[in-house]
Each structure stands twice: as C-alpha cells, then as structure tokens.
Structure 1
Amino acid sequence: MPTCSARRTPGPRAVPGLKLKIAGKSLPTEKFAIRKSRRYLSPKPISLPIPALEMMYIWNGYAVIGKQPELTDGILGIITKAEEMLKKGPENEYSVDDECLVKLLKGLCLKYLGRVQEAEENFRSISFNEKKIKYDHYLIPNALLELALLFMEQGRNEEAVKLLETAKQNYKNYSMESRTHFRIQAAILQAKSSLENGNRSMVSPVSL
C-alpha cells in the first residue's frame, strides 16, 4: 500500500528560486525576502535574528498589534531576548545591521506601550550607527520616519517635518523604497496640514 510522504517546507536557501514575476516585474516584498536570504547561501551562513518580526514590520503589522498591549508586550519580550543574544554572540559582518533592526522593532513596541522616551532613544540609535550599516540601509530612513511619527503624536510637527524631509531627500536605492516614500509623503502632508491649522496632529498608525 503506498505511503504518503510529508511535504517539505522550502528552507531559506530555496528562497531565490521561488521568485515570481507579474507583468515582467518581481514583487518588492519578494525582492526583500531574497536579499535577506542571501546570508544563508554563504559557506558559513549567519541566521537572521527575528525574520518573522521583521517581515511583520514590512507589512505594517505593528500598527495593528500595537492596539493590543498584551501582544505588544509579548513581542517586545521576544525582541529583547534577540537583542541579548546578539550582545552575547560573536561579532560578524551583519552585527550592526542586526542590532539596528532590533532597535527599530523594539522602538515600535515601546511606542505603542506608551514608553515614549525609550522609543525615541531606540530610533535615534540607528542614525548614530548609520555609517556602520553594511546591507540593511532601509533601516535608516525608516527609523527617521518612525521617529517623526512619534514626534507628530506629541505635537512636535516642525521637528517631524525636518526628519521626514531628510528621510525623503537623503536616502535612495534601498529595500522597499516605494513603500517607505509613500508613508513619508503621507506623514509630511499630515504634519504640514497640522501646522497650518495650528492643531496637534492626530496620526493614524494604520495608514502611516
């Protein structure tokens, strides 16, 4: 009697071969995943620290999870453990990139938990390490964007606009650039509108 074999889930090394094209173009999220999988293709592969949580950011998942403090606190715990492991582990060519990724995601969780000062510190630390980042250059404009959104929630719209303009003008050719530019432009319009009306900006995390 024939037996059914379990279907294997493709591993990270198989990711580049799974790319699809629609109307002759690859999806930005697939390109992002392929870039991230390259570190598994080297003779001495180095694992990604928190790949699922990074992809959740790409899909704007933190804006949704952030509405539920218990879930956000649980994710913050996972991120904090990853941060501790990075500190204890040996340094490699991805160390700074991974540390900055952790800071970005940690900052988001802290923001939604109302720990504003800590969130700001985490976002700012990414810019401080800008010249040390080797591969994940998308982290820098996104950190500026998230810091600007944090400022907007506090009514610090002039500071926010300056950060957003810097993120828009000074960074090019990074992963998921179109997505980030869309969010930056939406935030600029919202912050400037708030300044013109003399009101505090009511940021919609889901849309931005």
Structure 2
Amino acid sequence: MCGRYVQTLPAEAMRRLFKAGGALPNLSPNYNAAPTQRLPVCRFNPETGERSLDVLRWGLVPSWAKDLSIGARTINARAEGVAEKPSFRSAFKARRCLVPADYFYEWKKEGSAKQPFRIGRADGPPLVFAGLWEGWQDKQSQEWVRTFTIITTTPSAQMAALHDRMPVILEEEHWPAWLGEEKAEPASLLPLLAPWPGELELVAVSKDVGNVANNRPDLIDAV
C-alpha cells in the first residue's frame, strides 16, 4: 500500500516538470499527504492537446458508486488486477494520470511497533507515480467530484526488506503513452507496472507521521 506521501514541489516547478499548460492550481507544501485530501496530478486533455495540472481527491470513486465512501478503500489499485477490476478497468482504459511526489512513506514492523520510513529516489529527482482518475457526480447536488488512485506493484529487491508493495514509478520516457498522448493499447501498458529498478533512499523518520493531523517539514527528517 502507498497510503501517505510528501508533495512540496511548487506549481510552477510541476508545470516545467510535466510541460503542462493551462492555469496553475494554488498549492501548499504537503508533508503528510493522506487519503481524501485534494492533491495535484498531471492529466492529458485530448481536446486541447495539452497536459494540465489539476487538483483531485485521493481515493478513486467509480462513476457508478452510490457515494464517496468507496474512495477510502480505493486509494491504491493493484497492478495485477487493474485492467479487470470493476472499480478501475474503465479508468485504466481511458483516464490515466501522473502523480508527483518527493517521497512516499512506508512502515516496517519491528516487533510490536512500526517504524515509518520516507522513501525517495537516491538520485534526487521527484517521484512520478502511475495513477488513474475518474469523475463522479453527486445525484443530489449535481456536483462533479474528480478523484484519483495510485497503482502499486510488487516490491523491488530493495523495498522487499521493508514492505510487500510499492507504488509504480514511471520514467519520463513512458509519460506520453501512459497519459494517452501516444496511441497505446491498455494491454501494452501493463509491462510498465513493474517494480522500479533504480536505487531508492530509505530513511527512518518520526512516528509523528502516523497522525494525519501532523503536517510539518521536520516529518521528513531522519531520526
């Protein structure tokens, strides 16, 4: 599971990273991004032919859902069933996105306790996760809510010592196909949903990160 992450990249820096157009969202650094929060993602708009930065709710809500509550259970989509599972298959075919992050958090069991770690690229660039997005309309208010999920896969050898899952990390060369800028059959994208082969940096951090109310720069400091 990828249930918390860090996103501090300013909107202008994300625009440059993704070469996005359109209006920029108003963002604040988030050192403890959590499910149901509104967070930035990169999408491709086939009508304008541009990438855009948009703020979506974390926890994918399928169009057929009765209410938003399912989103608490769909913050991640397992790569192994993403093309067939009813909650995700429609989005996988046509609504894929990129999710930027500085780090993600994971917890390692140490006896009866759990020690949180922040995990990032050892070479420094931001992480970019493979995501899916969906639109859901409230039948009473008619309001549209757009949500997203992060795809997870089996761990790399490095991550396996910490946890049995990890988010799918995509390199820039694969962004056009993933976003739908380049024509690609969904089945051809499945090989991208593999453990990232690069070197990660795993750093133990404060247990304060376990409380979603905590959102401070020192959460990512080594302990």
- Scaled by the length of structure 2, the TM-score of the pair is 0.27
More strand by share: 2
- Scaled by the length of structure 1, the TM-score of the pair is 0.29
Which of 1 and 2 has greater Rg? 1
Q: Which has the higher contact order (CA 8 A, sep 6+)?
A: 2
